[in-house]
Amino acid sequence: MPFGLSGNNTPNISPFSSRPGTPKFKDVVLDVMRNMKHEKDSEAHQIFRQSAGHAPKGVRILPETVNPEEETVPGIQHPGSTGVIYCSERAIANGFSYTAQHEWANLGQGAPEVGPIPNAPERPKTIQMPEDSLEYAPTTGVKALREAVANLYNVTYRQNKASQYTYENVCIVPGGRSGLSRVAAVIGDVYTSYQIPDYTAYDQVLSAFKRLVPVPTALDPSNKYRLDIQQTKKDIATQGLAVILASNPRNPTGQVIKGNDLKELVALGREGSTVILDEFYSWYIYPDNEKDIGKSISSAEYVEDVNQDAVIIVDGLTKNWRLPGWRVCWVIGPKNLVTALSQSGSFLDGGANHPLQLAAIPLLDPTHARNERIALQKHFKIKRDHVLARLKDLHLDVDVPPHATFYIWLNLEKLPAPLNNGLTFFEELLKEQTIVIPGIFFDINPSHRRNLFNSPCHHFVRLSFGPPIEDLDKGIDAIARVLKKAKKEGMRAFGHSYKKSIDEPINLASKTVDQV
C-alpha cells in the first residue's frame, strides 16, 4: 500500500499537517510522482482516460465508470477525439475561449496562420456566388476545379511525362479527413500498414473502418524516423500488407520521404500494394540552399501511369494555401478510384462547398501557386529557426529538428518527473494559458490497449509553429515559466490539481493521494 494511505484509499494524515515528523500532503504527492510507472498513478492520464471514447479497450487499467452522458442513446460508442480536439476541450475547461483566444498561445493548432505574410499573393476577401453555385455540387467536385488540380500537378511534377492527370483522376472532398474517410470506405478487408508516430486522425480512421486490419511499424528516432523501404517490402511479402498509409511530409516529426526513398515507395503501387500518401504539408519544405526555395514534394513525380499505379494522394487548400476554413481538398489517383470515391462520398459527406470550389479555381494557377510556395517557405523557415533557437536557450534541444511541416517533435525525457511526460506537461501549460499536443495522440493505437506510460510517444509533445510569431513567443515564454517554477520550487507543484471543467474550482485540500 502506498505511503500515507489507509485501507479505504484516503490519506491518514491531515493534508496540510505541520506536526513534526508527519509528512505534508505535497510530500506524499511528490513521493507518488517519483514512483509513477503506470497511467493509473497520474492525474493527467486519468483525466484523459475518463474522457468519452478514450477508455482502454479489452483490458482493465482503471476502475470501470459509467458516464450517464454516454449511455443516453443505446448502441452509440464514442470513437475518441483527435489530439487537437481533446486538447481544445481541456483548454476550454481551463478558461480558453475561441472568442478571446488572443489571451492564449495555441501551439497545438494543426493549422497555419491565415493572415497576410510577406511577399505572398493577396488573401481572398470576397466570394462570388452565382445562382448555379447554390445547387449541390457533384460528389466528385466541380469539373473546372478538378481540371485545375490536375493541371497544377502536371505542370509542377509531371512535365515531359507521357501519362498525365486529367479531371477524371481528381475527386474534390470537404477536407482531408473526409478524403481519408472516403478512401477507407472503399478499401476491402486488407492488412493496412501505418507508422508510429503519425497523424492522429489515422487512429480514428483505423478504428472506425473495421475492414482495415491495422499493422503498425514503430519508426526509430535514432534513424530520424526514416521509413525503411526495404523493411516495408519484406513486411509486404511476409505479412501480406495490401495498403500502406503515411503522411509525407511527416506529421508530427517534421521529416520528409524524398528522392530515391519516395521513388521506391511509389514503385510499391506497381507491385500489388496500394500506397496512400497524405501530402498536406507538401509545400512546407525548408531547403538549406536558397535556389531550392519554392520546390515542393509529391509522390506524383514518380508515378509512371496515372491510371495503373495504385498511388493515392490526399491534399488541399487547408495547409499549403493556408485556407483551413474553406474545407476544399482533393484526392488524386486512378480513374476507377475516383468513381468509387464518388459513391462513398454520396453517403459519407455529400460533397464540398459549391461556391468555394469555384472560388478556388484561380488559386490553382501554377504561377499563383509558386508565388504562394516561395513566400510560405521563407516565412515559416524564419519561424522554425526562431522557435528552435528559443528552445535551445531553455536547454530543450530538439533531437530531430524538422525539415518540413510546421511542427517540432519535442522530447521531454530529460526533464524531471512528472514534467517528462507529454500529458502532464500539457496540463501544466494549460495553467499558463498555452496549448501543446501530448505525444501519445500520435501513437496510432486503434485498440487503445497500451498502458500510456509504455507508449514510444509518451515523453513527447508536438509544438506547432503555425501561428504568428508573437503567439509563438507567448507560448515559449509559458514553457520558460514552467521550467523556472520547477527549478525554484521543485516538483511538488506539478502533476496534480487539474480542472476537469470550467465550473470546477481547484481544491487541493479535498484531493486524495490516489487522485494525484
* Helices 422-430 and 469-489, axial angle in degrees (round to 10): 100
Q: DSSP code of 326?
A: G
Residue from 399, 409, 390, 382 nearest 464 by CA: 409
Q: Is 479 in contact with 123 (CB distance < 8 Å)?
A: no
All three cell numbers of 414, joined, read 530529460
**Rounded distance between C-alpha atoms, residue 230 and residue 93, angstroms:** 46
* Mean pLDDT over each residue of the chain, to the nearest integer: 87
Which pLDDT belongs to residue 454?
A: 87
Q: Is 36 in contact with 451 (CB distance < 8 Å)?
A: no
Which pLDDT belongs to residue 499?
A: 87
Has residue 103 got a pLDDT over 70? Answer: yes
pLDDT band at 201 (very low <50, low <70, confident <90, very high): confident
Phi, psi of 294 (to 5 degrees): 105, -15
Which residue do the cell numbers 462520398 mark? 345
**Average pLDDT, integer, range 28-38:** 54
Q: How many CB atoms lie within 10 A of CB 416?
A: 14
**Rounded distance between C-alpha atoms, residue 473 and residue 463, angstroms:** 12
Distances in Å between the Cα of 158 and the Cα atoms of 302, 304, 429, 434 are 8, 9, 46, 43
Residue 371: what residue type? N
pLDDT band at 200 (very low <50, low <70, confident <90, very high): confident
Cβ burial, residue 101 (10 Å; 0-12/13-18/19+): middle
Residue from 269, 194, 302 nearest 239 by CA: 194
Euclidean distance between the first and the last CA atom of the chain, given in angstroms as a whole number: 15
39-65: pLDDT as tens digits: 777 888 888 877 766 776 554 444 444
| HSE (side-chain half, CA atoms, 13 Å) at 406 | 29
Reduced to 3 states (helix: H, G, I; strand: E, B; else coil), residue 340 is: helix
Q: How many CB atoms lie within 10 A of CB 508?
A: 13
Contacts of 510 (CB under 8 A, 6+ apart): none
All three cell numbers of 126, joined, read 470576397
